[in-house]
A and B are shown apart, each in its own frame.
Chain A
Amino acid sequence: MDSVHALNVIGGFETDIRWHRDTDLTGYDLIVIPGGFSYGDHLRAGAIARFAPALRAVSEADARGTRILGICNGFQILLEAGLLPGAMLRNSSLQFRHQWVNLRVDANATPFTTECAPGKILRMPIAHGEGNYFARPETIARLKGDGRIVFTYSDLEGRATPGANPNGSLANIAAITNERGNVMGMMPHPERCSEAILGGQDGALIWRSLAA
């Protein structure tokens, strides 16, 4: 509901909420898989949700090139479903963490980040227990080489230091895209920081990019 609010109020989108058993997601310009605790995170975050009928429809939409955004649990589901490479481990602290983090914009040639200047530092909240991004070294190297790392946890000067990494993610990765660039997964919550009254509006950049 938070994402619907942000999409409607900030992005100016018309949105439908679709049920996990729905099998047809044709006719949409954008599919957002929001945060949450699908199936209570039993087994592993996103591990059960990836078998939902709607995920087959999401894969079909990906094949058609539809833009797909996964936030937090949505990112975890996209990883489990194989729409993005890599996996999420438990946070290195072994604790759920809610905090505001600084993100360096590394890629703005994606439909999700056209409004974000490269190198700019954004402030957004994270809220997860399993956001420790992991992938093989060759995958990380390819993500870097292809410019598919979109946001990197950093300090205010844009340095990806261990101290700026809230969960132990490899290369301080906070968001990535797929090869074609139509699918993005991000752990921070742009829908929770899209209005000044909520303490920050950097999240609005994502909705404005998508609406552009």
Chain B
Amino acid sequence: MNSVAEDCVTDEALRAVALNRFEYHRILERLGRQPNDLELAMFGSLWSEHCGYKHSRALLRRFPTESAALLVRAGEENAGAVDIGGGLAVVFKIESHNHPSAVEPFEGAATGVGGIIRDIFTMGARPIALFDSLRFGPLDDPRNRYLANGIVGGVGSYGNCVGIPTVGGEVVVEDCYAGNPLVNAMCVGLLRHDGLIRAEAVGESNPIILVGADTGRDGIQGATFASVEDPENSARGVVQVGNPFLEKLLIEACLEALATGAIVGLQDLGAAGLTSSLVEAAARSGAGIRIDVDKVSRRATQMTPYEVMLSESQERMIAVAQKGRENEIVAIFDKWGLHSDVIGAVTSDGHITVSEAGHPVAHIPIDQINDPPEYRLAVEFPGYLADVNDLDLSAIPEPADIAETFLTLLASPNIASKECVYRTYDQTVGSNTVAGPGADAAVLRIKGTNRAIALSTDGNGRSCYLNPRAGGAMAVAEAARNVVCAGARPVAITNCLNFGSPDNPDVYYQLAEVIDGIAEACSALAIPVTGGNVSLYNEADGVQIFPTPVIGMLGVIDDLDLRVGIAFANAGDLIAVIGGVHGLLDGSEYLKVLHSAIKGRPEIDLSRELAVQATCASAIQAGVLASAHDISNGGLAVALAESCFAGDIGAAVEPGSVSSRSDELWFGESPSRILVSLSEKNLPEARAVALSQGADLNVIGRVGGDQIVLSDDAAISLEIARDRWTTGLAAALSGKPAKQ
């Protein structure tokens, strides 16, 4: 056992590196000596919540991660890799960039996109699609509008320039995200199985090449910054500036360099810069690493080793080359106009050794720095739940005018068309986009095959706030339902867990329960978790965000001919609901928008969910459905309207007396329901499928006309409804009051 070195660090010095005294003592114990400032900062970065997952690691082990389809399991590499057949694999991951975006929305969002793209091509995959799940505070506040427009601008600017289509995502508005917007970006890549490359530092004496941008003073300690509360009070200097064209060159150069076979490991630089990349790469192989900071090209003069090792300058990668072949690699980087330096080599001593002018300035055992403490807190049932779960419908008057209520909902930012946002994103570059934003799931064809992949990102902070466990399960179920509606089989998820401060017992309870809910749904639906990201300390002015897991779902379409969209296709087709017509108002958009109430206790029955999805999937495979659309925000009426808008045709439905309340019937949001349309001649087969899978299938009306007719309750012209739906979000984002 090491003798414990003397404690001689001030509270202030520890706060600066986001370590507490307990952690500091552990470092003393492990090193058996006093760390110098550089070493302490390196520990601080890797032991930050952002890199070290101190509060979440123990909980994350509850996720099911086994599946025969996985080529790379959660935690092994930068992202999960999933076999999609035909010798091809998909690499995908979602990650947050919440804190930087709260301070500098445009660059924060842009570099979030840049970072997740690097996670994908670092594995040898060509990035083929981006998704962005965005959450903002109320848009009647100019500060939230500034954040929202900046974030949308940053997302578009980076993705458009780097030449990867943005094909889906979310835009959600909720009070709790004021001052702490959420920016979750997902990137999807495609590769051949034999093209997979590990992010590990292997082979003693193999040279380590740093390529891309020069290293500057930007973003120093960004990882620790993301691990403290209230980013608005932090310095803007920790946010980096992105250069998407440089990233484009890096993608092409790295993929070309990988094809030579002279690279044995490739790793991107993200949070905590060189420090975390090198430590992670060495930890994967069990090797050591020697770095000479003098060899690192810099943007600024007189940078200290501390600044070089912790800089988060964007658009940088490290490549571990086969000894003797480094010139081949450097020549490829040169061809693409990229600067690269050999900055060190792999060693066998199990340490990261940083030298300046020939003298070591840091020398830390990899296994010690890469093993942050793990916190398990007591899980206590939160007091707030009893209050918010108590939904007394007798105190909620039914709408006097269903038509007017319907139009109000169509114009509310969470339901209104997101076209004003996604039309600023290039959705079709790459010429693979079969279905883009606005569909339940984006569909990308795989060139040279009749195969496609379908992807969706879904989160529901409000349901998770009201019932964390069910909410976590509902996010998985909805994401799966969305890809099923496109004709795909769900095969794997990535997840981004956005939460408040884990030191708050309510938040820790939410974290534990949401993770359990995700795990339960993944087990029930037999979908493994391939990895993801945790973002804690999302709060502003003492307000914790709703617990917001965002699920990125990957589905595979084996035969592109058997695919449907959300659009009603033919006048005269029958309209039906799989999974039961009746909806409940708990946590609904209706209660929030019309009654300013965030109340109730949403629930999900996973066996029913499975039956509903199996029914829809089998019916699509049998070719009996003309359209399929998940019923979610705004309930049956809104799902109906969306299928009408997409098909540019009206519909009339008459579900009968399935509910005692008209608002429950039209605007209830119970999960596990799918709105479909089908030709009358296919009805017997559809019924047979539903019967064999154990789900309800109720015919409620017909496609046709130029109105949306909701029984005797409302008949609204398609034109007027579409106008409200199209202009609602655009008006809110521009700060102009919505049309009445």
Contact = CB atoms under 8 A, between A and B. Distances in A.
Interface string B394-425: 00000000000000000000000000001111
A195 B163 CA distance: 20
B429 A198 contact: no
Contacts of B428: 98, 125, 127, 189, 192, 198
A114 B422 CA distance: 34
- Nearest first, the 9 A-B pairs at minimum CB distance are A40-B245, A2-B431, A127-B426, A37-B161, A192-B428, A192-B431, A96-B424, A95-B424, A98-B426
Contacts of A36: 163
B424 A42 contact: no
Interface string A170-204: 00000000000000000001011011011100000
B431 A98 contact: no
A25 B736 CA distance: 54
B163 A198 contact: no
B431 A35 contact: no
A7 B433 CA distance: 18
A5 interface: yes
A13 to B, nearest CB: 16
B219 interface: no
Interface string B154-174: 001100111100000000000
A5 B161 contact: no
Nearest to A3: B431
A36 B160 CA distance: 9
Interface string B511-533: 00000000000000000000000
Contacts of A1: 430
A98 B423 contact: yes
Interface string A34-61: 0111011110000000000000000000
A6 B161 CA distance: 21
B243 interface: yes
A97 B423 contact: yes
B434 interface: yes
A96 B156 contact: yes
30 contacts: A2-B430, A2-B431, A5-B431, A35-B429, A36-B163, A37-B160, A37-B163, A37-B245, A37-B248, A40-B161, A40-B243, A40-B245, A42-B245, A96-B156, A96-B157, A96-B424, A96-B425, A97-B424, A98-B422, A98-B423, A98-B428, A125-B428, A127-B427, A192-B428, A192-B433, A194-B431, A197-B445, A197-B560, A198-B428, A198-B433
Contacts of A2: 429-431
B681 interface: no
Interface centre among A129, A189, A197 (most CB of B within 10 A): A197
B244 interface: yes
Interface centre among A5, A40, A198 (most CB of B within 10 A): A40
Contacts of A189: 428
B595 interface: no
Nearest to A96: B424
Nearest to B428: A192
B447 interface: yes
Interface in B167-198: none
Interface residues of B, number: 27
A189 B433 CA distance: 13
A11 B424 CA distance: 30
Contact of B161 (A41, A95, A192, A194): A41
A5 B447 contact: yes
A19 to B, nearest CB: 8
A127 B433 contact: no
B244 to A, nearest CB: 6
Nearest to A99: B423
Contacts of A199: 433-434
A195 B161 CA distance: 24
Contacts of B425: 96, 98
Interface in B438-496: 445, 447
A97 B431 CA distance: 17
B160 A198 contact: no
Contacts of A35: 429
Interface string A1-42: 110011000000000000000000000000000011101111
B645 to A, nearest CB: 15
Contacts of A194: 431
Nearest to B427: A98
A187 to B, nearest CB: 13
Contacts of B429: 2, 35, 127, 192
B444 to A, nearest CB: 11
A129 B243 CA distance: 17
A195 B433 CA distance: 11
A129 to B, nearest CB: 7
Interface in B238-260: 243-246, 248
Nearest to A195: B431
Nearest to B452: A197
A163 to B, nearest CB: 14
A98 B424 contact: yes
Nearest to A198: B431
Contacts of B243: 40
A125 B422 CA distance: 14
A129 B160 contact: yes
A39 B245 contact: yes
Contacts of B162: 37
B571 to A, nearest CB: 20
A179 B430 CA distance: 32
A98 B243 CA distance: 21
Interface in B253-283: none
A153 to B, nearest CB: 15
Interface centre among A42, A98, A127, A198 (most CB of B within 10 A): A98
B152 to A, nearest CB: 10
Interface string B132-171: 0000000000000000000000001100111100000000
A99 to B, nearest CB: 5
B335 to A, nearest CB: 8
A175 to B, nearest CB: 18
Contacts of B560: 197
Contacts of A97: 423-424
Given A40-B161, A98-B422, 10 more contacts: A2-B430, A35-B429, A37-B163, A37-B244, A98-B423, A125-B428, A127-B160, A192-B431, A197-B434, A197-B560
Nearest to B161: A37
A113 B447 CA distance: 26
Interface centre among B156, B161, B422 (most CB of A within 10 A): B161
Nearest to B246: A40
Nearest to A2: B431
Nearest to B420: A95
A177 B608 CA distance: 60
A180 B305 CA distance: 61
B431 A96 contact: no
A37 to B, nearest CB: 4
A201 to B, nearest CB: 12
Nearest to B160: A96
